Structure 1
Amino acid sequence: MLDVPEEPIDWRAKGFWAPAGRPVLGESIFGGGFTWPLLVVRESAVSANVATMAAYCARHGMDFAPHAKTTMAPQLLRRQFDAGAWGMTVATPNQALIMRNLGVPRVFIANEVLDPVALGWLAEQTAAGWEVWFQVDSVAGVEAAAAAARSRGRLRLLVELGHAGGRTGVRTLDELEAVARAVAGAEGLSLSGVTGYEGQLGDLPSVDAFLDTLAEGARRLAAAGLLPERPIVSAGGSAWFDRVTDRLAGAGLGQLIMRSGASVTHDDGFYRKMTPFNRVPSEGPLHAAMEMWAQVISTPEPGLALAGMGKRDAPIDEGLPIVADPASGVAVSKLNDHHTYLAVEPGVTVRPGDLIRFGLSHPCTAFDKWRHIPLVDDEHRVVDVLHTYF
């Protein structure tokens, strides 16, 4: 179902000490074939997370289209398909182009598309039999899609509901219906359903209120005869998918598609705090699969050590990395481009040359910093090399 291109490992691969290129499968990351910093992904955690989310969606009667933009790693996407994923979600037409070339059969672009070049390509691919959808939240967006469809084929759209202060999506149900009617009245366009994103909302009551409004919008459009017999209703990031289940699953709205992307690797920061399985522990858990290894390169003054890892290597947009090993007495205070500042408590010894294991926050901005990532077993032997396509 999904192709994984062969990729050579050589001097271009960050973290791999392979000046002339050589095989790495079966090798320990500590055996001399790698250099620091190095991002690795633990296979056991990925396998457990994929199984957990597949079982969760099946248990609640939802289809799963995980957000591929989290990793853009074909090997991980294929694992999700093997576990029963319905399709993949992406954020941009360029990511959709990658999915098409990887052989992904169904793609949901969880974003608006107004670029006529991209719209023309999407219409051609739809005419060729590819199943692809995207969002619309304006009459201008409908007009751009209709112009592409007139000359190239047909396009499938979902009208998007947003919320005040959020990103895309109409803000009222009257606007939702107006855009839906514009789609219905345009030649070459098909309205497949409604969609929304609750992930930017900060508390449970506001999330529930938004999801209830989304359900009301789906019912309103269905009553007006603007939706197919079994419309798509899609929501569900990685922080509130339990509320999507509670407010939308079983409501008889149509085909519910959940899109959580960060669940495949989870993390040691933002999603560790925000995972829905903290609220419904009997449904989970998820496990942090990402590890960053970096070497202490300097201890220039008491209480301070510098590790050879920086913002080029590790994400900081949703919190700083945490020191996972040693387990206490050392903490990250800030990052430069290629240095991590470590606050070292009195009585704790950190020496130049020491290796430190870090946990990361936010996989979406970790994977895009690495073109090749070792997938390792629990003894840190390489079982595969993940290749990313950002």
Structure 2
Amino acid sequence: MSASYDAAAVAALADQPVSWQDKALPPAWWGRTVREILADRPRLSQLPTPLLTLSGPGMEHNLATLARWCTEHGVELAPHGKTTMAPALWAAQLDAGAWAITLANAFQLGVARAFGVRRVMVANAVISPLQLRWIADQLAADPSFEVLVWADSVRTVEQMEAARSAHVGADARPLDVLVEMGGAHGRTGARDVETALAVAQAIAAAPTLRLAGVAGYEGAIAHGADEAGLEHVRAYLQSLADVHTQLADLYPADVTPVVSAGGSAYFEQVAKVLGPLASTGARVVLRSGAYIAHDDGYYREISPLGSAPRTDGDRLIPSMHGWVRITSQPEPGLAIFDAGKRDLPFDEGMPEPQLLRPRREGESPTPLTGLAVSKLNDQHGFLRFPEGEPPVVIGDELRVGLSHPCTAFDKWGLIPVIDDPDAADPVVVDLVRTFF
């Protein structure tokens, strides 16, 4: 059964008027509600550039694909909501069977609470006394609310316990804490089993905390899909399994321990190494988040369900695109377009030129080859091509593929969802609000 959310609060997003603050939308739409705009079945041609869009059919396919894959491989899914920070998309993930929503900090947790998300994993340590007191108040006010946080050192546990014990009584609901296991040259997380066990013992001894499992992030261990990288990932995941096994006597009797890993790059390895723990009473939880949009770059290449699949199941579909307009051709072999770092992701690869939109009514989009984006400035992109007859002219509108959803969504407060990114003039079927 999936964690619940406030469906009325999510639905109410469609009744909010749009304004000049929504850079994706034209002035003609300002002052109208999302519901009113969508009733007219607007077209992509009515929207300005630069623009980020999502593919409705593509996201539906991706939601169903990973939900089915998790079920078939005996693992749960708590998708990382920080990828989209879009409660409407969280709702879709929960409706598709997600066990929880994962977030990264207390601000994001506040967004989840505003939309009634009942079960949240904060994949981080929370040590701010202000935030810990707020979480304690939320747990006290809503018996159905569940939250899990992480800790990777005894001092972290001591900080959490000190802040909570000064604020709540002995009969307060405990805060569930997972021991975070890391790896050499990785990010956070205990670097050895001895430290992890000490953290677990500190949690178990803290009056206002409860030991709830083990977690970690294998994406910081490897950055490619070669066999050597996959072996590093498997070894790291085995260390999580080993720590969990050694904590058997420390888990409270009323706790189903959570063992969690799995970004969007190596989730098949997580199922392979950690999946068997489900038969021993653990809840094995993936936290993949980028899958809902997938991409035309990093995840297309590295995802287990990408262009070179490493597991069974349907391939994920790239479902986010940028739309840009040529504004200058200052020299041979170069065109400048109207989108830059503030509009499109660039940390995991440059945008990929894909289609030239029709220049005249009745024409079809034209596939683009031989062009490349060489760099982005704040608000400009550099499109390179061989000298000679230019393949684009000033005024042309292009579709570009994008790499890395986590740094695409955060640049847009309202994102149009279209019915077919390959169509000559797609229909806008939804507008998704983000909260960054």
Q: CA deviation at 1:280?
A: 2.7
AA in 1 matched with 2:90: L
Aligned: 1:244 with 2:270 = yes
Aligned to 1:62: 75
1:24 touches 1:382 (CA, 8 Å); kept in 2?
A: no
Q: Does 1:16 align with 2:25?
A: yes
Corresponding residue number in structure 2 for 1:372: 414
Shift of 1:281: 4.9
**Unaligned 5+ residue runs, structure 1?**
none
Equivalence for 2:199: 179
SS in 2 for 1:192: strand
Asked if structure 2 preserves the Cα contact closer than 8 Å seen for 1:371 and 1:389, the reply is: yes
- The separation in 2 between residues aligned to 1:164 and 1:99, in whole angstroms, is 32
Give the Cα–Cα distance (whole angstroms) in 1 for the partners of residues 390 and 311 of structure 2.
35
- 1:164 partner letter: A
Q: 1: CA distance between counterparts of 2:109 and 2:384?
A: 43
Which residue number in structure 1 is paired with residue 289 of structure 2? 261
* 1:323-362 deviations in Å (ceiling 9; x for gaps): 1114202110000011100002244421000001011110
Partner of 1:168: 188
Alignment correspondent of 1:384 = 430
Aligned residue among 304, 315, 326 for 1:285 = 315
Letter in 2 for 1:385: L
Structure 2, unmatched stretches of 5+, are 223-228, 356-366
Partner Cα separation in structure 2 for residue 247 and residue 113 of structure 1: 28
1:227 shift after superposition: 5.4
**Where do 1:136-155 residues align within 5 Å?**
136-150=151-165, 151-152=167-168, 153=172, 154-155=174-175
CA contact (8 A) 1:69 1:90 kept: yes
Check if 1:192 corresponds to 2:233: no
In the alignment, residue 315 of structure 2 is paired with which amino acid?
Answer: P
Q: Which residue of 1 aligns with 2:402?
A: 360
TM superposition score normalised by structure 2: 0.86
SS at match of 1:158: strand
Q: TM-score, normalised by structure 1?
A: 0.96
> Would the aligned equivalents of 1:68 and 1:88 in 2 still touch at CA under 8 Å?
yes
For residues 219 and 282 of structure 1, what CA distance do their matches in structure 2 show? 28
Distance 1:233 1:182 in 2: 18
Percent of aligned pairs with the same amino acid = 44
Partner of 2:135: 122
Query: Which stretch shows the higher mean deviation, 337-346 or 368-377?
Result: 337-346
Among candidates 77, 83, 87, match of residue 90 of structure 2: 77
Displacement of 1:11 after TM fit?
A: 1.9
The match for 1:92 is 105
Could you report, residue by residue, the CA deviation over 1:89-112 in whole angstroms, capped at 9, with x for unpaired residues?
Answer: 000011011101111110000011
Q: Which runs of 4+ in 1 moved over 6 A?
A: none
Alignment RMSD: 1.4
